[in-house]
Structure 1
Amino acid sequence: MSDDPKTLVSTAWLAQHLKDPDLRVLDASLYLPEAGRDARAEYDAAHIPGARFFDIDDVSDSRSELPHMAPPVEKFMSRLRAMGIGDGHQVVVYDGAGLLSAARVWWLFRLMGQTDVAVLDGGFPKWQAEGHEVEDMPPVVRDRHMTVRFQNHLVRDVTQVAAASKLGDHAIVDARAAARFRGEAPEPREGLRKGHVPGSRNVPYTDLLNPDKTMKDPAACRVVFEAAGVDLAKPIITTCGSGVTAAILALALERIGHHQWSLYDGSWAEWGMFPTVSVATGEA
């Protein structure tokens, strides 16, 4: 793969740059309850040297009833400052699943106007499989100021997505598994209707990954989007279950050079319970 410190870097790149004074590494692992995994405990037991733990559920909007919505700017700044991450740092985010939740944190940084951030391709499993160093010690953290410039165009709410669905002026792309998209499989959260946003297309995030959980190269990713009927000439809104795997689609779009994308933060956790918006089932 071609390393890009603004989107995706390889384990070889990270191993080469791990001692750079302005590099900061984040473990952003997050699992659904049914996975039976404790992200914080796994981080405490072993992580990439110097990595800080980024708790997606904590660095979120606690005022919202929806899961891990983007936090207010002030909260993001204070949490990152406490992690010793700020202006002038190159950030690399990874997770323990290979490539799952790390992209969500990449998007959060982008939303806050920070562009020197990349996802570790293949994540912690690939790092460990290759025999790279790990540690169980917490890093030494020094405060660092972060300047935030919120990027409104990278996030969408239910009203904006409903308008896009009705007007057809955006392509809406859903990262959930095909059975959930079609309304054939139950939703993991109680009380949600089954189906998808009318007019949306389905690109399960797993279709963009190789067997080792690295991301397919840009040309292959483009083929996946086109095969799913996504109109790449339009601005794209990505969505999923709760705004996590939608960021994998956003990362892939950025990699293929499609920069007019945004993420529906509430995703199906919101749309599926919103009484005034319609739901489609079956194929797109």
Structure 2
Amino acid sequence: DIRVVDGTWFMPAEGRSGHEEYLQVHIPGAVFFDIDAIADRASDLPHMLPTPEAFARAAGALGLPREADIVVYDTHGIRSAARVWWTLRVMGYPKVHVLDGGLKKWLAERRPVEPGEIFPRAVELPPMFDAALVRDADEVRALLSSGEARIIDARAASRFTGEAPEPRAGLRSGHMPGAANVPWEGVIAEDGTLKSARDLKAVFKTAGVNLAKPVVTSCGSGVTASVLALALARIGLNRVAVYDGSWTEWGGLPDTPVVTGP
């Protein structure tokens, strides 16, 4: 009992539409999960998690029962699919997987695809929410103060150090005090698949992350933070939380601690 989900999403500056590309070509039977639409519309932050009730209605309309195996992919290889993977897990789905290498690898292997919209049979879903997989700004403040968990930032090194400006206007540059920097591209192999568990352990060790202690992932808006959470799941850390608001929230608040440099 498998359900396939296309979770393709692009940054606004990329000028591409995940849904339009889905309509052109997708894995047979795949439904489209729009992370900007299945989100908290009342928030001024991008694609924040919706309420459990709103999510249950949206996922039910996509025909995604919780007892099914859900396989998520995107056209990039592994990027926004990880955000959908994390979202489904937060909302009570026990069997969620990411297609390694995504549609790019699928097409390279000449596997079947189809165009057009899919109209699945809707299912009824009770709302569920796993709060242990999510952190908000207040919780991150507390973690920074207590040192109980390490923040791992998935943004590019130049943004982490503050040398490069943030792509979203109005945000301060830099990073949270004590955060580690693991740019998300560093956990992806050259062919677009996720690196092996052995290589991933080396990536996090090089960044100074002690994997024996709790960690929380962050990024620009919660998408590539989910890539790091997926990478950590591959090496056995299946309960890593993601800071949903990430730097779009943190860098836009007037009183959150921010430092620059390595």
Range into which the TM-score falls when normalised by the shorter chain:
over 0.9
Between the two proteins, the alignment pairs up a number of residues equal to: 262
CA distance in 2, matches of 1:120, 1:179: 30
For structure 1, the residue ranges without an aligned partner over 5 or more in a row are 1-21
On the 8 A contact 2:27/2:114 being kept in 1, the answer is: yes
> Is it true that 1:126 corresponds to 2:75 in the alignment?
no
- Per-residue deviation, 1:227: 0.7
Query: 2:221, 2:244 within 8 Å by CA — same for their partners in 1?
Result: yes
Task: Measure, in 2, the Cα distance between the counterparts of 1:186 and 1:129.
Answer: 36
> C-alpha distance in 2, partners of 1:261/1:271?
19
Report the Cα distance in structure 2 between the residues aligned to 1:43 and 1:259, rounded to whole angstroms. 29
- Aligned letter for 1:42? E
Matched, 1:234 2:180: no
Compute the displacement of 1:167 (Å). 1.7
Residue 281 of structure 1, CA deviation: 0.8
Q: Answer yes or no: is the 8 Å Cα contact 1:77–1:148 preserved in 2.
A: yes
TM-score (structure 2 length as normaliser): 0.97
In the alignment, is the contact (CA less than 8 A) between 2:25 and 2:115 conserved in 1? Answer: yes
Superposition map of 1:241-260 within 5 A: 241-260=220-239
User: Which stretch has the larger CA shift, 144-153 or 98-107?
Assistant: 144-153
Tell me how far apart the structure 2 counterparts of residues 161 and 212 of structure 1 sit (CA, whole Å): 34
Displacement of 1:173: 0.1
Cα deviation for residue 259 of structure 1 reads: 3.3
Check if 1:67 corresponds to 2:46.
yes
Cα distance in structure 2, aligned partners of 1:114 and 1:278: 35
- Which aligned pairs between 1:27-46 and structure 2 lie closer than 5 A? 27-46=6-25
What is the rounded CA distance, in whole Å, between the counterparts of 2:114 and 2:140 in structure 1?
Answer: 43
**Residue of structure 1 in register with 2:146 after alignment:** 167
SS of structure 2 residue aligned to 1:190? coil
Question: What is the aligned-residue RMSD (CA, Å)?
Answer: 1.0
Distance 1:31 1:212 in 2: 20
Deviation at 1:260, TM superposition (A): 4.3
Is there any run of 5+ residues in structure 2 with no aligned partner, and where? none
**Match of residue 273, structure 1, among 233, 247, 252:** 252
Distance 1:157 1:239 in 2: 11
* Partner secondary structure for residue 24 of structure 1: strand
Query: Once the two structures are superposed, what CA deviation does each residue of 1:129-168 show, in whole Å capped at 9, x if it has no partner?
Result: 1101110132241112234431111100111111111221
Runs of 4+ in 1 over 4 A off after TM superposition: none
| AA of the residue aligned to 1:127 | W
Give the distance between the partners of 1:247 and 1:114, measured in 2 at CA.
Answer: 16
TM alignment of 1:15-94, pairs within 5 A = 22-94=1-73
How far apart are 1:34 and its partner, in Å?
Answer: 1.9
CA displacement, residues 92-143 of structure 1 (integer Å, 9 cap, x when unaligned): 1111111110000100011012121101111011111110111013224111
For 1:205, the equivalent position in structure 2 comes to 184
**2:66/2:94 contact within 8 Å kept:** no
Give 1:87 deviation, angstroms.
2.8
Residue 103 of structure 1 aligns to a residue in which SS? helix
1:185 maps to 2:164: yes
